[in-house]
Structure 1
């Protein structure tokens, strides 16, 4: 490792504030002198010892439990010392200061996990899963992060990468021995193998999309004309009075976000200003912000007043690339029945936020639209960068098929190499240093 990752680092590993117990974590090469300076004795490996922690003058800062994890059998792969003390911030900061007096420096966010990655203790997917396990907002998200941490996602990636390596060996061997006529390429078999790898890529991509929803949430934007019932629907879905509801058109003028869950699926429901042509500067700004949110949404729900036939004509242009569902609200004022209709790519639901009719069908529709299912052991946590890398690998494989059809071995080999490298970006086998810095900066201190 470079000097940056070979020195000794220290941080408070428990959340800020007071509690029963706090942990100060220290990691580096050869911690013997630091351990002796703090404890006035050596420690046996991986054995908890109740002992005083000493200041420079020999005074006891606190009494607690010390555990030494010698390299390489530790979280980071380096020597690790954990000090479990009473959870008073004054004590933890004194212990941290004492460690720095003995040669440690304050760790950067995520630096302990970054060292674990650099020392080969875990790959990049597993490192990210640690942060996702800490930040998970649903039980399903936590279980899925645990699966990624256990290596489920990485095993799929490594298996696909191995299949690409086997193809590359065959193609590059033909290139290396092209003058000796000892290699004969079966292009039909090669194309079939590429098709099989593409199938596994596409299956994993769909699973990863669900993992991204579990991590980031599914963004639903409520849009429509003023007084169509957007804010009332937000309140129904969230189960509380998140938005002000009145009969006055244009009550909602700013974007209002509310995180909710549907059977473990996290959603971000976004209420927006009513869409209409207006000269009012504040209302116009609200509509502009609504359009920005629609561009970023996973799905747009167009809320229509079922009792007002003209309310389904929206004067504002909607994003062409975002899926839309049409929601007819206020059916309690009409003879319409609650439920869902699907004609082609258009899904229409009939609901009443006043009576609750049709809301169960709406929740099921949102789950199906996201491809969400709460059962099964195939769900793992994922990130948007994983989706992009998988899609890049798929694109290179399609290019490889094209080169296979025209028997262009050199470009075929290059496409297969790029597909493999795209997979390597997911696990960290091929990763730029600046991306690593960004990923680990998202961690908390002491992890």
Structure 2
């Protein structure tokens, strides 16, 4: 016999009379809120940053994966509003939590934003309510952290309200897969929690919904996705270092290997890992593993390789300068790209920022150019980029280091005027004249 509470909530979801909430209006939350509103639901976005709330309510977009016209239309039609007033959670039937889960200074999970969101929800919870955590975190967070906080409301999970974990799968800049068409994994505290959460996403997305038996399964699945990439990138980074010592072009090695139609997926080396997920998620798992007396040796080895890549790139840069009888100390260096991946404006955890820091520690005078990031904020300081690539800018530097392979940059122009180039992303692979180019 169906639980009448979940049955009622599912009906509201299916006939689109449910009001939906999204806590956190960043790279995950805003695209999700937009899709909810586009699907015909009254949607309320919550954020502690007033500037984000004001921009959303004005229909002003600040996330690359959101279509400007979509945001303007749903705000104008009244389907999407934003607020800093968490009391409006009381109006919502379903709330998605999409807040940051960074690492603290000890490289341990910082779930303070998740806890704060749960505590903000508690005072305004009501029966027949669904809460879904989407923030990437360690296995056990939904059941061990979120559930006890939410039950201080006096409501019982699985009976009075429904709780699930559904990991975000946002890939900024991906031209094919967006929030709308990316398959969704859902795992609830109970089977009915899973059922209600799956019903929500089935009515919003144009993608398959994969149900799993618990939040912990869904949480571990997300960690697996990103740790898989971390380990494989660590492998190719280590082999790239070895190949350089052996005088082998490793990029050509990967291109040859991917000619195999089965059993191999191409990963490429680079100056390190960036973005919110791939550099951080393995640390969540390693931290949680210690609770069980388990040492994630393979994962930690890949993390060590990837974490040291910025320093390795600086070391290689020094050797390139030495060949021109230049010391790193006092050299002028132009860094091309500070976004963590091509053709986006997101510089979270970007290895390019670490490369710049290490270069400056060695006494180099560093400037950067990035068509998507005019300035960035790090360690309490703002660093401004060069407004454009000019002949004078390129020729005035002793070395150009490509750290992000933006497709909008004219690499032929750079190659014509640069004294020396260290291409850590193989961005110049299509150029014929490569005399002044050295690859990672």
Higher fraction of helix: 1
TM-score greater than 0.5 by the shorter chain: no
So what's the TM-score if we normalise by structure 2? 0.23
Q: Which has the larger radius of gyration?
A: 1
* TM-score computed with the length of structure 1 as normaliser: 0.23
